[in-house]
Structure 1
Amino acid sequence: MTLQDSPRPPAPSHTLPPPSGEERPKRLALATGVVALGGLLFGFDTGVISGALLFLKEDFALTSFQEGTVISALLLGAAAGALGSGRPADRFGRKRVLIAVALTFTLGLVAAVLAHDFASMVGARMVLGLAVGGASTVVPLYLAEIAPPRLRGRLVTANQVLLTVGILVSYLVNLGFAGSADWRAMFAVGLIPSVVMLIGTLCIPESPEWLRGRSDDRPSGRTAKASRALPLDRPAVRRALLIGVTLAAVQQFGGINSIIYYAPSIMSRAGLPATNSIEYSVFIGVVNVLMTVAAIPLIDRLGRRPLLLFSLSGMGVSLVTLGVAMSFPTGSPANAIALVSMIVYVGSFAVGLGPVFWIMAAELFPPGARARGGALCALVNWAANFVVGQLFLPVADAVGVSLVFWFFAAVTSGALFFVVRKVPETRNRSLAEIQQDLEA
């Protein structure tokens, strides 16, 4: 009997038995809901610090440098978590890494609630960053692997929706506890979804794609080993890396986080009272959520490429307009255009580049390099996020805000050309079919 003719070994005991036709949609929905909580915690933990920092800086007597360190600690931890989650996900399975991510979220939030000084808060934020980075890699990967081709875009977008919901929830929590200045309670709210995710991940099945790859590599009569790792210099993997890494960098160097961070100032210049930056953040969070939800039916109906082209076009036009509007004096009627431009920008990002990058990072790589490839894309995304976050204000002070926005517009214009030339359409195609296209 040849290896191809040998019977496939049974699934390991830690996976659930194959569901019936009626049970399958329920199991799929349960697994999606549980795992996508990682996206919600991703958004919550990155957003909650914006309100908590207003009060914990007084308790810990933080300098402006220390404030920046508290914020950037999560970004550095996320880069490490993204890079370090790929190989374990390939070797030990997606489920075990997701359990570790949920446990790390819980430990990080407990550490933040109990933090008593600057050093302990930085440590807590680093731990949360490890969880955020791991979630940004493995959650979209798992969702892409359990989904049928016709639903893959929607399921992975569910993660992005919950990410934006997590940001919005963090802003609402900040607003709710702002009156009492209870920053510990702000972090404590995040323990609810983290504990639910931890319990839920114990009950979900392993990724069938990971199990299939492991079974295909298993010689008859031998002990099972992890799925064979593919070298990253294979042509298909190189093409996938080129696309994934470029979209990862564009997502950040296109200015999304800088635009959101600068939103209160832009609204103030548009003539609105800048008395409560948290309320402005809530407004931006609502726009972000609504447009990401709008992307759900479009991802699999229109396809990835059309949404990317529409998204980058809208971002580029709104950034140019925003730069022009910001060059006028404060209080000028033109500054009302800045507010509209910012809303168009956030909506354009949320309906296309925001979710599509994470989908394609999970779709493009072959099984033996999927987790490592997705981890590298997430690493570039977090590293670019850190660079932009650190340099935006100093560069804006040096050359002017308008020039910075025009630089972001140039990045999105270059990305538009890149998508036309290099990015394939993956809608309604199996993961195997996508690999055949990239190998061709």
Structure 2
Amino acid sequence: MLDTPHPPAAAAPAADHDAPPARLGLWTAVVALGGLLFGFDTGVISGALLFIRTDFGLDSFEEGAVISTLLLGAAVGALGSGRPADRFGRKKVLAAIALTFTVGLLAAVLAHGFVMLLAARAVLGLAVGGASTVVPLYLAEIAPPRLRGRLVTANQILLTVGILVSYLINLWFAGSADWRAMFAVGLVPSVAMLLGTLAIPESPEWLRGRTARTPAGSLSAPGTRPALVIGVTLAAVQQFGGINSVIYYAPSIMSRAGLPAADSITYSVAIGAVNVAATVAAVPLIDRAGRRPLLLFSLGGMALALVALGVALGLPSGPVTNAAALCCMVGYVAAFAVGLGPVFWILAAELFPPESRARGGAVCALVNWTANLVVGQLFLPAADLVGESRVFWFFAAVSAGAVVFVVRKVPETKNRSLADVQRDLAAVS
């Protein structure tokens, strides 16, 4: 079915690929606040829940529900953001996402019981899922080919900064046990994003498709299938490679390795800092070295670090093995952040043709969030059942298998127009 386009004269101003760097940087900063809020809202609960548990008298099931509700909401938000972004434009959907972040954070700050907090987390999940789809999509579409990787990576940088900021905020307010203030800090970037999206231009790729009366493309179309296979596979690998098991459970892993984990928030801050530093290091490499080399280096490094971590956790606890386990964890996070972390989101925004780009990215994000939920829920039971070493070796096997997949299936997209990338994919379908 054809989607009736708006007349070109009524369309919002388009972003210019040759816009001055300062203007392009401003648009990127505004939109990438969605990435910061993505990271902040997924990370802040780790410290806030310590005090919410006491205030609301939550049992273990309710604690798990507070965490998993955001992940479920994110899966729904990711899938549900694709069609609106295609129909109404990227700019309007980004403004709606910013508004949803603001409403969800206000609801969390004002929550007076478990049910209201659960509703607030569900609303935040919708915003997080929408941001994970539409933010990298918009950035890829406004960027000139030579800068596309860097601009989309800005979203991943702010995502990791958001996680780190949430840990620091948790640490700051831990002494006063003020979990409402922890959530309230997030209102600053959410309101800034909401106001900023009113001033950004519309995506030129979206406007071009509307003007040309491009029909809505099917994700099962022959030219789209290779992009879908690559995007969905990397989405699953990003989670089944174990990253959020380390991010979510780092203090627990270190404690079981024999290291003191009383100050769990401080450990989280250290892991978060490594995550940010390695993602920043990826920025000059994304458009210089290319997507494929970074993916191969990242996945290979992850596999080696996970094998070594599994070995270290299987040895008797002691100063040497404990330090080795910690170093392996840090090395693993760094390997992920310099490659697979940002490159997956870049490719999800680059590979699909214009008429199905938003929906293709939405499906990739849906798979990513669903896998995130599965791994987050099963990691500790699996570790108790078969031992942490074997779980990390499973993650290593996934990472090693992904190396073969990248070599055989993933094209290089650096310094290439989106049209050229899709033409090559269509040729091999």
Q: Does 1:61 find its partner at 2:61?
A: no
Counterparts in 2 of 1:146-185, with a 5 A limit? 146-185=142-181
Aligned residues of 2:15 and 2:142 also touching (Cα < 8 A): no
Q: Which residue of 2 aligns with 1:4?
A: none
TM superposition shift of 1:261: 2.2
Aligned residues of 1:111 and 1:121 also touching (Cα < 8 A): yes
TM superposition shift of 1:271: 5.5
Aligned residues of 1:149 and 1:428 also touching (Cα < 8 A): yes
TM superposition shift of 1:270: 5.7
Counterparts in 2 of 1:304-383, with a 5 A limit? 304-331=291-318, 333-383=320-370
Query: Identity over aligned residues, as a percent?
Result: 75
C-alpha change, 1:399 and 1:272, in structure 2 (3 Å) is closer
Tell me how far apart the structure 2 counterparts of residues 251 and 17 of structure 1 sit (CA, whole Å): 31
Q: Which residue of 1 aligns with 2:12?
A: 14
TM superposition shift of 1:10: 4.4
**Structure 1 runs, 4 residues or longer, greater than 4 Å off:** 8-11, 16-19, 269-272
Q: Does 1:201 find its partner at 2:197?
A: yes
TM superposition shift of 1:68: 0.4
Counterparts in 2 of 1:108-127, with a 5 A limit? 108-127=104-123
Aligned residues of 1:270 and 1:333 also touching (Cα < 8 A): no
Q: Which residue of 2 aligns with 1:83?
A: 79
Letter in 2 for 1:237: T
Q: Does 1:39 find its partner at 2:39?
A: no
TM superposition shift of 1:232: 1.4
Tell me how far apart the structure 2 counterparts of residues 266 and 79 of structure 1 sit (CA, whole Å): 27
Equivalent position to 2:244, from 225, 247, 257? 257
Any idea what the Cα deviations from partners look like across 1:250-304, whole Å, max 9, x if unmatched? 0000000001223213434566432210000000000000000000000000000
Aligned residues of 1:102 and 1:198 also touching (Cα < 8 A): yes
Aligned residues of 1:269 and 1:331 also touching (Cα < 8 A): no
Q: Which residue of 2 aligns with 1:287?
A: 274
Q: Does 1:145 find its partner at 2:132?
A: no
Letter in 1 for 2:23: R
TM superposition shift of 1:228: 1.9
TM superposition shift of 1:11: 4.6
Letter in 2 for 1:12: A
Tell me how far apart the structure 1 counterparts of residues 258 and 242 of structure 2 sit (CA, whole Å): 23
Q: Which residue of 1 aligns with 2:3?
A: none
Letter in 2 for 1:179: G
Tell me how far apart the structure 1 counterparts of residues 68 and 225 of structure 2 sit (CA, whole Å): 30
Equivalent position to 2:254, from 258, 261, 267? 267
Tell me how far apart the structure 2 counterparts of residues 13 and 97 of structure 1 sit (CA, whole Å): 15
TM superposition shift of 1:329: 2.4
Tell me how far apart the structure 2 counterparts of residues 187 and 418 of structure 1 sit (CA, whole Å): 40
Structure 1 residues without counterparts, runs of 5 or longer: 1-7, 218-226
Letter in 2 for 1:68: G
Q: Does 1:128 find its partner at 2:112?
A: no
Aligned residues of 1:270 and 1:337 also touching (Cα < 8 A): no
Q: Which residue of 2 aligns with 1:399?
A: 386
C-alpha change, 1:365 and 1:107, in structure 2 (3 Å) is same
TM superposition shift of 1:60: 0.5
Aligned residues of 2:348 and 2:364 also touching (Cα < 8 A): yes
Structure 2 residues without counterparts, runs of 5 or longer: 1-5
Aligned length: 422
TM superposition shift of 1:102: 0.2
Q: What's the TM-score, normalizing by structure 2?
A: 0.96
C-alpha change, 1:320 and 1:18, in structure 2 (3 Å) is closer
Aligned residues of 2:237 and 2:402 also touching (Cα < 8 A): yes
Tell me how far apart the structure 1 counterparts of residues 304 and 415 of structure 2 sit (CA, whole Å): 30
Tell me how far apart the structure 1 counterparts of residues 293 and 161 of structure 2 sit (CA, whole Å): 25
Letter in 1 for 2:139: L
Q: Which residue of 1 aligns with 2:91?
A: 95
Any idea what the Cα deviations from partners look like across 1:367-386, whole Å, max 9, x if unmatched? 00000000000000000000
Aligned residues of 1:39 and 1:139 also touching (Cα < 8 A): yes
Asked which structure has the greater CA Rg, the reply is 1
Equivalent position to 1:420, from 407, 410, 413? 407
Any idea what the Cα deviations from partners look like across 1:388-429, whole Å, max 9, x if unmatched? 001111111111111100000010011111000000000000
